[in-house]
Amino acid sequence: MIETADGFKLLSAYFDREQQAQLAEAVLERVARSPLYQPAMPRTGKPLSVRMTNLGPLGWMTDKTGGYRYQDHHPVTGEPWPDMPGKLLELWRSVSGWPDPPQACLVNWYGPDARLGLHVDADEDAKDAPVVSVSLGDSARFRLGGPDRKDPTRSLRLNSGDVVVLGGASRRFHHGVDRIYAGSSTLLPEDWRPGRLNLTLRRVRA
Ligand code: MD6
Ligand code: FE
């Protein structure tokens, strides 16, 4: 486990293989009902390489016309997002240090060539609640910087079962995913390989 004074935590192998498999099954069953869609950048409409869906009362999304936002329904099906699996609520209670439950779980899907540019999670009114993330499937190279885009960054490998907490000052640090190590995990069912799932739990409303 890595813990730094700025509130960043990496809980390596937080979930064992059996727990990862149970969590993946619970998430993929929900993704079957609330399918991944291709988000797009505000204004330009440039597609992101990561595909997304959400679980819980609110979901984060972005498209050309509406920009970055939270909404209570799937943009394609129009249905409410599925509930969050109990295991994720339990994880939040154990590691967030926050009294209220998460309101959103963003499900990010990375194929072997997907990446996520350096960004700050800044679309939440609840700016002080931590963000808790879980990685499942193939490993990724995660980049963590500082509050300023120009701050130096370091890279960390995130493996299946790892949990990251961005709390305290690190809640406003830049971060992104540089690459996926395709084929590094056998956790996910074959039709989901190669690839990586990342789940991020958040408080949204203040
Ligand atoms: C990812 N994660 O690991 C992308 N954001 O695929 C994030 O963007 C992230 O891991 C906020 C807090 C933790 C995270
Ligand atoms: Fe993020």
3-class secondary-structure state, position 177: strand
Ligand 1 binding pocket, CB closer than 6 Å: 108, 116, 121, 131, 133, 142, 164, 166, 175, 177, 198, 200
What would the mean pLDDT of 98-124 be, rounded to a whole number? 98
CATH number for the domain that contains residue 194: 2.60.120.590
| % of the chain residues with pLDDT over 90 | 98
Counting the structural domains of the chain, the total is: 1
The pTM assigned to this predicted structure is 0.97
Confidence (pLDDT) at 5 = 79
Per residue in 171-206, pLDDT tens?
A: 999 999 999 999 999 999 999 999 999 999 999 999
What would the mean pLDDT of 83-106 be, rounded to a whole number? 98
Per residue in 26-66, pLDDT tens?
A: 999 999 999 999 999 999 999 999 999 999 999 999 999 99
Residue 132 C-alpha to ligand 2 middle, in angstroms? 10
Domain that holds residue 61: 2-202
